[in-house]
Amino acid sequence: MTLRNWIIDLRVDYKTERQAELMLINVRAAAKELLISARMLADERAPDIAIQADDIFLGRNEVEMFTPEEKAEYGL
């Protein structure tokens, strides 16, 4: 079997920045769950995951999967 890349593209229009912040919390949680599942199913090569946010004004940006607080707590 070959290396497979899965893409989920979610587009949402929010009126407030708070709504986008809440969605980011959910996106990070979903990414962590997907990565855990992928690692449990993986054979030899360790899975990798990336989160990106894209808007028409700022363009595409990489998003850290862990917040600074989580990094400090988990020693990352």
pLDDT tens, position by position, 40-51: 999 888 899 999
Rounded to 5°, the CA angle 28-39-12 comes to 25
Would the pTM count as exceeding 0.95? no
The upper half-sphere exposure of residue 5, i.e. CA atoms within 13 Å in the direction of its Cβ, equals 3
Task: Note the pLDDT of residue 3.
Answer: 84
Q: List own/partner pairs for 6-12 with CB under 8 A and 24 or more apart.
A: none
Q: Which tens digit of pLDDT belongs to each residue from 8-33?
A: 989 999 999 999 999 999 999 999 99
Task: Note the pLDDT of residue 75.
Answer: 84
Cβ within 8 Å of residue 66, ≥6 positions away = 28, 74, 76
**To the nearest whole percent, how much of the chain has pLDDT over 70?**
99
